[in-house]
Amino acid sequence: MTNGHTNDYKTNARRLRDALAAEGFDISHAKALELVAKQNGVRDWNTLAARPVATKAEETTSGAPFGVGESVAGTFNGNPAQGRVIGLEETIKPDLWRVTVAFNPPVDVSTSKLFSSQRRRIQMVVGTDGRSRRLTGTETGVMALTRA
């Protein structure tokens, strides 16, 4: 799925690649895309391509539960959780998103009272409501996050 902002980034990558080639530096198109992503303050091309470009009001109607860089808060396995979205990509299923969250402080992912396992970064599939889902769309109940 391509849209206007993705095409703009790809055009920038082509221009960067051409300019570097003119100076004697040959890079692949994939490398140029990664460099454009870093110039836009994100970690990689996939994150940049998934980044919403709409206003806050338009983001809500676009279907994504939150955007890259936004603060989120809620629960993980019933425990309080807060963090920042560092990755977001659309799945093949409508209204389901793969989100990567950097939690601060770390969250306990264990459901046992006898064991604790802290995680700083978690990737899960969520619905438009910010609740974790299986790719079949059924709710897992593990994570529930909203914009903070």
CA of residue 33 relative to chain centroid, distance: 17
List the single range of 62-66, 134-138, 139-143 with lowest mean pLDDT.
134-138
pLDDT band at 61 (very low <50, low <70, confident <90, very high): very low
Cβ atoms of 17 and 32 within 8 Å: the answer is yes
Q: What average pLDDT does range 30-51 have in this prediction? A: 84
Strand partners, 122: 101
| Tokens, residue 148 | 């903070």
pLDDT at 105: 93
For residue range 74-131, list pLDDT tens digits in order: 998 888 999 999 988 888 887 888 999 999 999 988 888 888 889 999 999 998 888 9
pLDDT > 90 fraction of the chain, expressed in percent and rounded: 26
Is the per-residue pLDDT at 59 higher than 60?
A: no
What is the CB neighbour count within 10 angstroms for residue 20? 15
pLDDT band at 4 (very low <50, low <70, confident <90, very high): low
